[in-house]
Amino acid sequence: MQGNTHIVGGITASLAFAQISNDNPLLLIGAGIIGALLPDICHSGSKIGRKFPIISKMVNKLFGHRSFTHSLLFLILMVMVLHTLVPFKAISIGILLGMASHIFLDMWTKKGVKLFFPVSISVRFPLTTRTGSKVEKVVFMLLTLLSVYFSYELIVNLLGTL
């Protein structure tokens, strides 16, 4: 999936979580966007890879694309790092939600992800699409509509408490 699809996926996941939590939705969304881009640090052409080219090249050289940074192991390590270093729970949760949405979306691509890294098996869904395809554009639109829906719910609930 492309960066914009991952961003809206992170936003949607964060807004959905905001429906059932008392965490600050703006913190969740901001962190969700960062988390949604983070797994592609292994790809120098990605949005985050272009911002941090040296780190991106190092990670790619060590692991390749869609392996370690797209795995459950990376998610678990990030849980530990975030729990240790980030004092705001909403930020940690948002980053993890964004990362999880990224991995989930990439499982819909033909290449899939190395979900169980270091095991080299690629995991993907039975129905897949190609990055940048018309199907991805439909996914982007559906995620955008879901984000608008969840935003509306949050705004109505917020106004109802005033």
Predicted pLDDT of residue 46: 93
Q: Is 140 helix (H, G, I), strand (E, B) or coil?
A: helix
**How many Å apart are CA 6 and CA 101, to the nearest integer?**
7
Decide: 149 and 14 in contact? Cβ < 8 Å: no
* Residue type at position 151: S
pLDDT at 53 over 80: yes
What's the Rg (C-alpha) of the chain?
16
User: What is the per-residue pLDDT across 13-50, written as a single tens digit (0 to 9) for each?
Assistant: 999 999 999 999 999 999 999 999 999 999 999 999 99
Predicted pLDDT of residue 67: 94
Q: How far apart are the first and last CA of the chain?
A: 40
Written as six digits, the tokens of 116 are 């169980």
Predicted pLDDT of residue 102: 98
**How many Å apart are CA 86 and CA 84, to the nearest integer?**
6
Q: Mean pLDDT, the chain, as a whole number?
A: 94
User: What is the per-residue pLDDT across 109-135, written as a single tens digit (0 to 9) for each?
Assistant: 999 999 999 999 999 999 999 989 999
